[in-house]
Amino acid sequence: MPQRGNSQIAERTHIIENMKLKIKIAGTRVHDVGYRVFLLKNAMNLALPGLSTYNWDEDGGQEVIALVEGDEARVASFLKTIEKNKPEMAIVSSVTFEDYDGDVGRASEVAMFCTFVQLDKAIPLLLNMRDDLKAVRENTDMIPQISEDIKAVRKTTDATLDEIKAVRKTTDSTLDEIKGMREDIQPGYAMQFRQVHSDVRAIKDRLGMP
């Protein structure tokens, strides 16, 4: 069985390992939706060694450009994956590709760049969180004073309740006195009423009035 020469094997390997494509992803919303991270994740899942990505604006529309390099099977699988899938918030109108013969960066470089981008976005958020924590700490320092104010209010409330109880006790005593006076007055008042009624009746009889 004839054997291939080393030069033929090397040439065939070189061809397989250096398949390059320029992929263009266009749409009304493909920027700032995590597209480059999405492309990097799929390239790393396929162990695709060559990847460069960048955002581009074309005729007022948004584009994401991906330059890929690797063996034919990995590049074809990568292309098939990104044609069927996209980031959740992305709005894609087309995915096109063409042969490419320029330089392609390493996927590891894209990973480093994406990390820097995420850190750049995270720094303002972290600064805001720091300011919020500082405000919370300042409010926490006020808790002892708030606690003292609550104690003072509670003390005043207790004193007011004691005064209300004292007034109620005095009112009950006064009502008892009034009730006693009414009981004392009522019998005498009834006798006087009967006497007046008797006198009026006698006068009417003397005058011959019915």
For residue 96, what are its two tokens?
């096109």
Q: What is the CATH number of the domain that holds 56?
A: 3.30.70.100
Helix, strand, or coil here: 196?
helix
Residues 11 and 99 both lie in one domain: yes
pLDDT given at position 5: 43
* Number of independent structural domains in the chain: 2
Which of the residues in the chain have pLDDT under 50? Answer: 1-15
pLDDT given at position 68: 96
Question: Does 62 fall in a domain?
Answer: yes
pLDDT given at position 122: 73
Side by side, the strands of the sheet bearing 94-99 are 50-58, 61-70, 19-27, 94-99
Long-range contacts of 156-160 (CB under 8 A, 24+ apart): none
Q: Which of 72, 107, 142 is the last residue of a domain?
A: 107
Question: Does 180 fall in a domain?
Answer: yes
62 in Cβ contact with 31 (< 8 Å): yes
pLDDT given at position 35: 94
The residue range of the domain holding 88 is: 6-107
pLDDT in tens, 48-76: 999 999 999 988 889 999 999 999 999 99
Give the ranges where the chain is alpha helix by DSSP (H): 6-17, 35-45, 72-84, 107-141, 143-207
Enter the pTM of the model. Answer: 0.52
Q: Which of 107, 125, 146 is the last residue of a domain?
A: 107
pLDDT given at position 10: 45
Residues 16 and 96 both lie in one domain: yes
Identity (one letter) of the amino acid at 136?
V
Q: Which of 43, 72, 107 is the last residue of a domain?
A: 107
pLDDT given at position 78: 96
Residues 17 and 102 both lie in one domain: yes
pLDDT given at position 47: 93
